[in-house]
Each structure stands twice: as C-alpha cells, then as structure tokens.
Structure 1
Amino acid sequence: MGNKLTQTELPPKEKQPSFWLPLIAIIIGAFVAILNNSLINVAIPKLMTVFGSTQDKIQWVLTGYMLASGVIIPITGYAGDRLGYKRFFLLALSVFTFGAFLCSIAWSDTTLIIARVIQGLGGGVIMPISMAIIYKIVPRDQIGMALGLWGISAMVAPAIGPTLSGYLIEWFSWRFLFVINIPVALFALFMVSILLKETEVDKTKTFDYMGFFLVATSAATLLYALSNGNSVGWRSFEIVCLLYIAVSTGILLIWVEKGKSNPIIDLDLFKNFTFTLSVVVSSLVTVGLFGGIFLMPIFLQNIQQMSAVDTGLLLMPQAIAMAIMMPISGKLFDKIGVIPLGLVGLTLLSGLSYALHALTIDTPHSWLITILVFRGIGMGLCMMPISTAGMNAVEPRKVGNASSLSNLVRQVAGSMAIAILTMIMQKRASFHGSHIAENITLDNPAIFQVGESSGLSFSTIGSMIQLEATTRGIGDTFWVSSLPLFLCIPLVFLFRKRKEQSFANEK
C-alpha cells in the first residue's frame, strides 16, 4: 500500500521529463520578488528625503506592499487550480514587474505607494505559487533537494539586499532599486513560459467570495496592527479596534469555511498532524530568525555606527553559509529525513542565538562573523526540511492550498515577531538606561573626575548611557528570541512518532 501511494504522488514522467531548468526559472522569479523588498527596507530614509515626505507616510511604501501581499496570498490555491499554476505564476510575476516599472517612474510619494501596492499584489503570491509548482513538477523522492535550492532565494536575497541597495543609492539613483528587478523578472518570465508545462486546470472550481473577504480583512487588519502597534500604542483606540476586527473576522472565517467543498482557506489541513506540526515549528523558527534579521542591523548601524553597505558585507558570510547548506540539507532530507537535520540545525541556531545576548558596544567583528556563520549553517540545516516534512504529508491535490496557508501563517508570525521583539527591546533599553542613570548623579565625585580628565560633557555621558542601555536591550531581546528556537528542539521528535503511527495504520 505504501508503494502504491508513493507512486500516485509522483508527477508523470512523460509529461515533465526534466524539472531542473523549470526549477531554475522559478527560483529566479522567487529571488527577484524577495530581493526587491530587502532593497527597499534600507532605502526609506533616502526616499523620505527625495520626496520631502514624512516618516509616517513613506513607511507606507513597506506597509502597502505587506498588506497587499497578505491579502492576496489566500487565493493561491484557488487561482492555481482554476487558471493553471504556470499561467498564474506568469500573471503574478507580470503584475510584480509592472509594479516595479511604475515604482521606477514614480514622481511623488503617493504614486510610489500606489505602485508598491500593485507590486505587492503580484509579489505576494510568487513564493507560495512557486512552492506549489515545485510539488507539481518534482518527484517526491527528490523534493528535498529541489526545495533546498528554492530556499536559497528566501535566505540569500535578504542578506545581499542592504549591500546592493547601499551601492545603488550611493552610485546611481533610488530608481535603480526598482529598475534592477525588471530585466531579471522579464528573463524569468521568458524562461518559465518556454520551459514549464501547464498543470491540470479545474474549471469547475468556484470562488469563495465570503471566505476571501473574511480572510483578507482578518489578515490585513492583523498585519497593520502588528506593524504599527509600537509606534501608535498597543492600547490606542486604533490598534484595539484593528485587533478586534482581526480576531472577530478570523473566528467568523472558521465558522463560514467549515464544511465548504472549495474553501479559500482549507482549514481541514490542520487535521493533518504532520502538516500542523510543521507549520507550528516553522512559525516558531521564524520568530527566532527575525531576532537576527531585525536586531543585527540595528546593533551594527545604530551602536557600532556601520553603514548599510558595510552591514550587508558583514552579514554576507552568514548568507553564504545558508546558501551552501540548503541544497545539502535538502539532499540529506531525501535520505535521512527531518529529525536528524532538525535537531542539529535547531541546536546550532538556538544556542548561537542565545550567545548573541552577550553583545557589547565593542564586540569584535571576527567573533560576530564566526557566530553568524555557524548560525547560518544551523538555519540552512533545519528551515527547509521542517517545511518540506509538512508539505510532503499533504495530498497532492491540496498542495496549493497548503502552500498558501503555511506562507500566510509564517508572514503573520514574522510580523508578530518584529512587533514583540521591538517592544521588548524598547522596554529593556529603558530599564537598563534607568538602572545605569541611578548610579550617575550630580553629587557623585567620580563623575566629575571622569568628565574633567577626559573632557566629556554631561550630554556626551548621556549619549554613552543610551548606547550602553540600547546594547543591553538588544542583548536581552536576543535571549528572548532564542526561547522559541529551544522550544522547537523537542517538537522535532514528534515527526518520528507520527511517522511510526502512520506506518502502523497502513499495516
């Protein structure tokens, strides 16, 4: 029975004789979508200066893209089945490319924000649709290697983005942040159109309008609340209302989607233990990973006064380590499974994330690079195997829905991680600042002696206190971000338990 099931899951070889060239084309398309966002993240101050905009308004260049992508992700499964996954991928990449072109010719902050929303409508579904296509064209016994290669785009693009962005802004123009995507995206469109064969189309599938409205409302309000909660205030009327809408529409979504034949979000997927376990562990790992993605640039640029370009160069070895390990871990996954890779990778990742809590103002870069490289090896070992194990447990006909659901959950987890870690960092920095200031008083003779001997003013001493307090706050936040990673280690063993139960049921 096991052999028969495996054979039915494999794509017909006569329909797709070779998947490597189509896979490369798909990876290029996914890479350019992720790279675009990492280019823009560090360019916000420049854009604010160019357009004479305010911080709050120009931030919508990021927020608009995030909300558009969060709203559009749920339709991945339906659109792929109804239109064909190749056609939908080409449509999404075309919309993304058109949005990039509009961004490159934007003449005001408002037109740039509108263009970014259009870009997000295309770019938001590129990752889930590309993952679904991989499952359509790659045999299951080689899926680990394929997803390992595909995962390089998700890990390497954010690492090279800041460095490339800095060079483009310094030597060319901010418009090249968008222009650079267009030829790469056009090349990916051409490659996919000639190399990838269309998947089966289900023209009888109907669109779930109510489900889409509810999931789009819930996702948009939740993502917006998470991204603005720290700046507006978590107890403000605006954020409380948004969270209420997000939760209430989410509950209503569960009730509406229950028992539907073609739901926009297939919540029955959570009845699959392995898939659910994979989504939970992947979300916890995402929370831990965002500690490094979010905190390390703050430490390097704000504390050690490094430029965006130099920050990107320092983080580059970590990205290279991830890029090397991902296809290796994919190949090993096909042979030994998720548990050994998950245990080794998560142990490295959690332990070294915890080690970063010891950061100081003058932490040497040699130590930091060493820690980050081995942390990158841990990421490369565990990320894709954990995700692949869950997707492999899903029926082939539900792969599109599973891909969109897991990507949506991870996006929410990432936004939640940034919101929580930002709040912790601010509170701990304030705590440390108050604690340090308690020992620095006007009647303390040591303060005057230090000031007279070194020529330091009280304002300079205050700046030093703020730097030290922020550094300690970042260290404390790294400690917190390592906790979900440590929690994932025992959860990995549950993959074996479920595998043994499934084998027993088959017998």
Structure 2
Amino acid sequence: MVRELIKGERGRVYALFVIVMLASAFGNLSQTAVNAMMPEIMGEFGLDVSLGQWLTTSYMLVLGIAVPAATYLSKRFSTRQHVFIALAFFLVGALADCLASNFAVLLAGRICQAVSTGLLLPLMQTIAMTRFPEGRRATAMGVAGIAMGFAPNIGPTIGGAMSFSLGWRSFFVLLLVAVALLAAATALLVRGGAGDRAERFDTLSFTLSALGFGGLLLGFSEASSFSIASPFVWGPLAAGAAFLVLFVRRQKRVDDPLIDMGIFSSKQYVVGFVVLCLLHASFMGVTLIIPLYVEGLCGGTALDAGIVLLPGTIAALFLNPLAGVLTDRFGIRPVTLASGLLLAVGSVLMVFIDGETPLAVTTLCQAVRAFGVSGLMGPLISWSLAGLPGRIVSDGSSFSIAGRQACASLGTSSMVLLMAVAGSLSASASAPALPYQMAFAFSAAFAVATFAFIVAKVR
C-alpha cells in the first residue's frame, strides 16, 4: 500500500514536471522563433532591424521583470493555480499575435507570452530540485534543458520553416493549439493543496525589482540603437543599477522578501550564477545573428537559416538529458569542462565565416557550439541551486533567471550594435562579412570567458 502511494505521488510529480517543462519549452521556443521570421515580419509592417529586434529584446525584458513574481505565486497559490495563471497569459498572447494587424498588437502579444514564460521557468527548476530525489536532480534538470536549451535553439528552425511555407502567423496558431492542450492536461492531471493565503506580496519590492532589472534590460536593448554615451543607454543602466541596490537592501530588511538574499551566502550558487550569465551573453544573440547572416549575406531563405541551426539542435535534444545523467554519475567538473571547450571552439570558428563559406561549414560550427550549450545549461543550473537550502531554491532560481535574461539582452543588443557600427565603416563595402564577424567575435569572447571561469571555479 505504501509503495503504491509512493508510486502515485511520483507519477503526479512526473506529470506536473512534464506539463510545466513543455509549457516552458513553448515559451522559449516563441522567444527565438521570431528571429527567423524577422525579415518577413519587418517587411509586412515596414520595420527596420533596430525596431524589429524589440520583438526579441522586449521578450527578454519582460521575462526578466516577471520572474521574481514567480516566487510569490509559488507560495501564495497551489501549483495548479500557478500553472493556469501562466498558461492564461500565454494563450492571450498567442491569440493577439495570430490576429495582429500592426506592430503594437504583435508586441503586446509577445509581452504576454514573456510574462507566462517568466512565471513558469522558476517553477520548473524548483520542481526539479525539490521534488526529485537527490541523485536524480541533475538528470531532471537535464530533461528541463529541453525547455532551456533545445527549445530556444530549435525555435529559429521551426519559425523559419513555418514562415517560409505557411507564413509567420502560422507559428502562433501552432502555439495557441499546443498551449490550449497543456491547459486541458493541467485540469486533468495536476492536483495539489491550496497555497498559503497569509503570504504577502511586497509591492514595493516588486516595483524596485521591475525598475532594476527593467532598467538594465532597457539600457542594454537601447545600446543597439544609440551610442554608449547616449543618455538613452547610460540613463536606464544607471537607474537600473540604483534600483537593484535598493531592491537588495529592502529584501534584507522586510519579513517577507520577494527574493531571499541569503542565496548569495552560497559560494557554489554565486559561481554558477556568474558562469550562466556569461553563457547567456554568448549564445542567445547568435540565434538572431545567424538568420540575418544567412539571409542578408549569403542570399539564403528563412528555411535555409533554420536548416543551419537544425543539426546541432536535434542532437541537443539528446545531449541535454545525457549531460544531466552524466553529471549525476561523474560530477559537474568533467561534464562542464568538455561542454565548455566545445562552446569555445565552435564560437571561435564562427568568427572566420564569410559570404563564401559553404553553409555546411557554418552548420558544423554552429553544431559544435550548440553541443556545448546543451552540455552546460542543465548541469550548471542544478549544481548552482544544489548549494542552497530547499526553502530558498525558488528564490535562487528566480534571481538567476532574471540575471541570465539581462545578460542575454546585453549579448543580443551588443551583437546588433557591433553589426551597425561595422556596417557604417567604409571598409565594410569591401568586407561585407565584417558586421557578422564582429557579432560572432563578441559571442566568442564570452564563450571563452565561460570556459575559463569553469576551469578556474567549477569543482
């Protein structure tokens, strides 16, 4: 009887984890799929790259702002209610994007989807770290890597294929149907107790968090359109940093902090946080640059851009869980050393591609880089959160995701800025690949820094 109860409880945990993981995967899929559809969207609405890239950077911005609220939701509401709230945002956003008649409506739909993803990602990581037995947590996080690593990598391939064959709106129709099915599955499979009604939402803390992370993300995003000396860049960055300081100070003083700052008393968490931020600065923007490179310099189609990303992404579907299994068995260091080396090598090789480089070579370089990302994501997240007491794992997960989103925005915007600067140089007429090479060089610098930090600090 006891064994049956344990099996029943384990089955509910697995069902819950799969639903949240798939919903998170659709959120991250949406985040990057738009990159491959960008040329078609820009053409339909008459946008330039600086404005069009807001469909990506705003997603990062809002996701980073929404993430801290997930800690409160996980305490105040049941898991089932938490999931329903997140899925409701996603359904509204997907519907808005399906029917968007102008850029503003399309952007509003993207914002709703970003809120949903921000509420789901910390929940997924918390389930993996608190409801799975020790010795299987890295494996669970490796499976979660399908949402965190595989989904954003496959996004441009799916987006490019659907945009090429059925038009860009078809992608959001697919999301609408898929998330509606997940909502139905949640109603059927997930059960849980009520949340803590006494839990208090500290509005001031959330405001400071939103202004802090939002300011940093906005400043990084504006860096792609203005010079570093522009007040549109340093103003939001300075304000964001100031509000984050106020946020951290308030968390240490209030009885019900939005995020418990005790997370930074763990050296293991801090090291993992830094490495993950470097990783996100390196890899996220590449999913925007590669489609621009393939379509803008090589004369390819959105489908071609998706195909360049496909082999590494398909392999990553298996590498994410495998990396988790290997971490549980052999430890964090050998897995992250091997994966970090792949990331660094693949990223450096991409610096040297140009308009004459066969797409097969570009595909190989991208595959090596993607293998590295897949082998790092889940193991590093599980290792960093394993250094925290169970009661603040959700806090650590939320703050880590917000920080990673800020760094992803920094990376994406810096790559776009470098492309714009290189494109304005007179030399670019005789070196048309220079803008893309500079963007890839930025990614490579952070990839090498990621590997160096793993060598020095991850044990």
| Common fold by TM > 0.5 | yes
In 2, the alpha carbon distance for the partners of 1:355 and 1:116 equals 33
Counterpart of 2:156? Answer: 162
Residues 21 and 252 of structure 1, relative CA distance in 2, 3 Å threshold: closer
Counterpart of 2:284? Answer: 290
Counterpart of 1:185? Answer: 179
Residues 117 and 325 of structure 1, relative CA distance in 2, 3 Å threshold: closer
2:37 to 17, 26, 43: 43
Q: CA deviation at 1:468?
A: 4.3
Counterpart of 1:502? Answer: none
Q: Which amino acid in the other structure matches residue 253 of structure 1? A: F
Q: Which amino acid in the other structure matches residue 278 of structure 2? A: L
In 2, the alpha carbon distance for the partners of 1:147 and 1:308 equals 32
Counterpart of 1:113? Answer: 107
Counterpart of 2:455? Answer: 490
| 2:146 is equivalent to residue 146 of structure 1 | no
Counterpart of 1:457? Answer: none
In 1, the alpha carbon distance for the partners of 2:239 and 2:119 equals 24
Query: In the TM superposition, what whole-angstrom CA distance separates every residue of 1:42-89 from its partner, at most 9, and x where no partner exists?
Result: 333433443456766655544543333222111111110111233212
Q: Which amino acid in the other structure matches residue 111 of structure 2? A: V
| 2:352 is equivalent to residue 375 of structure 1 | no
2:446 to 481, 486, 491: 481
Residues 136 and 46 of structure 1, relative CA distance in 2, 3 Å threshold: same
Q: Is the partner of 2:10 in helix, strand or coil? A: coil
Counterpart of 2:323? Answer: 329
Asked if the contact 2:266/2:388 (under 8 Å) is kept, the reply is yes
In 1, the alpha carbon distance for the partners of 2:109 and 2:363 equals 37
Asked if the contact 1:314/1:369 (under 8 Å) is kept, the reply is yes
Asked if the contact 1:140/1:392 (under 8 Å) is kept, the reply is no
TM-score (norm 2): 0.90
Residues 387-426 of structure 1 aligned to structure 2 (within 5 Å): 387-426=381-420
Residues 1-16 of structure 1 aligned to structure 2 (within 5 Å): 13=6, 16=9
Query: In the TM superposition, what whole-angstrom CA distance separates every residue of 1:69-119 from its partner, at most 9, and x where no partner exists?
Result: 222111111110111233212210121112211222233333333333333
TM-score (norm 1): 0.82
Residues 308-319 of structure 1 aligned to structure 2 (within 5 Å): 308-319=302-313
Residues 381 and 397 of structure 1, relative CA distance in 2, 3 Å threshold: same
Q: Which amino acid in the other structure matches residue 33 of structure 2? A: L
| 2:83 is equivalent to residue 89 of structure 1 | yes
In 1, the alpha carbon distance for the partners of 2:292 and 2:38 equals 15
In 1, the alpha carbon distance for the partners of 2:355 and 2:141 equals 39
Q: Which amino acid in the other structure matches residue 119 of structure 2? A: V
Residues 121-270 of structure 1 aligned to structure 2 (within 5 Å): 121-198=115-192, 201-270=195-264
In 1, the alpha carbon distance for the partners of 2:354 and 2:176 equals 41
Residues 64 and 292 of structure 1, relative CA distance in 2, 3 Å threshold: closer
Query: In the TM superposition, what whole-angstrom CA distance separates every residue of 1:285-339 from its partner, at most 9, and x where no partner exists?
Result: 2222236434433332322222121111121111122111111111111112211
Counterpart of 1:75? Answer: 69
Residues 476 and 122 of structure 1, relative CA distance in 2, 3 Å threshold: closer
Q: Is the partner of 2:257 in helix, strand or coil? A: coil
| 2:347 is equivalent to residue 347 of structure 1 | no
Query: In the TM superposition, what whole-angstrom CA distance separates every residue of 1:194-216 from its partner, at most 9, and x where no partner exists?
Result: 32332673332211111111011
User: Comparing 128-137 with 385-394, which one deviates more in the overlay?
Assistant: 128-137
Q: Is the partner of 2:104 in helix, strand or coil? A: helix
The unaligned stretches of length 5 or more in structure 1 are 1-11, 435-461, 496-507
User: Comparing 255-264 with 110-119, which one deviates more in the overlay?
Assistant: 110-119
Q: Is the partner of 1:203 in helix, strand or coil? A: coil
Query: In the TM superposition, what whole-angstrom CA distance separates every residue of 1:185-243 from its partner, at most 9, and x where no partner exists?
Result: 11212223332332673332211111111011111122111111121222223223222
In 2, the alpha carbon distance for the partners of 1:252 and 1:469 equals 42
Larger radius of gyration between Structure 1 and Structure 2 = 1
The unaligned stretches of length 5 or more in structure 2 are none
In 2, the alpha carbon distance for the partners of 1:236 and 1:147 equals 41
Asked if the contact 2:350/2:366 (under 8 Å) is kept, the reply is no
In 2, the alpha carbon distance for the partners of 1:128 and 1:143 equals 15
User: Comparing 408-417 with 126-135, which one deviates more in the overlay?
Assistant: 126-135
Q: Which amino acid in the other structure matches residue 445 of structure 2? A: V
In 2, the alpha carbon distance for the partners of 1:28 and 1:210 equals 32
Residues 468 and 206 of structure 1, relative CA distance in 2, 3 Å threshold: closer
Residues 149 and 270 of structure 1, relative CA distance in 2, 3 Å threshold: same
In 1, the alpha carbon distance for the partners of 2:319 and 2:420 equals 34
RMSD: 2.6
User: Comparing 469-478 with 309-318, which one deviates more in the overlay?
Assistant: 469-478
Asked if the contact 1:291/1:481 (under 8 Å) is kept, the reply is no
Query: In the TM superposition, what whole-angstrom CA distance separates every residue of 1:17-42 from its partner, at most 9, and x where no partner exists?
Result: 32433332222211211112223233
In 1, the alpha carbon distance for the partners of 2:98 and 2:433 equals 40
Q: Is the partner of 2:9 in helix, strand or coil? A: coil
Counterpart of 1:452? Answer: none
Asked if the contact 1:421/1:481 (under 8 Å) is kept, the reply is no
Asked if the contact 2:20/2:120 (under 8 Å) is kept, the reply is no
Asked if the contact 2:65/2:209 (under 8 Å) is kept, the reply is yes
Counterpart of 1:442? Answer: none
2:10 to 12, 17, 25: 17
Asked if the contact 1:136/1:199 (under 8 Å) is kept, the reply is no
Query: In the TM superposition, what whole-angstrom CA distance separates every residue of 1:403-456 from its partner, at most 9, and x where no partner exists?
Result: 11111011011111223334445556667x54xxxxxxxxxxxxxxxxxxxxxx
Q: CA deviation at 1:362?
A: 1.8
Q: CA deviation at 1:474?
A: 4.5
Q: Is the partner of 2:367 in helix, strand or coil? A: helix
Query: In the TM superposition, what whole-angstrom CA distance separates every residue of 1:354-381 from its partner, at most 9, and x where no partner exists?
Result: 2323323322334333333333332222
Q: Is the partner of 1:139 in helix, strand or coil? A: coil
Asked if the contact 2:264/2:270 (under 8 Å) is kept, the reply is yes
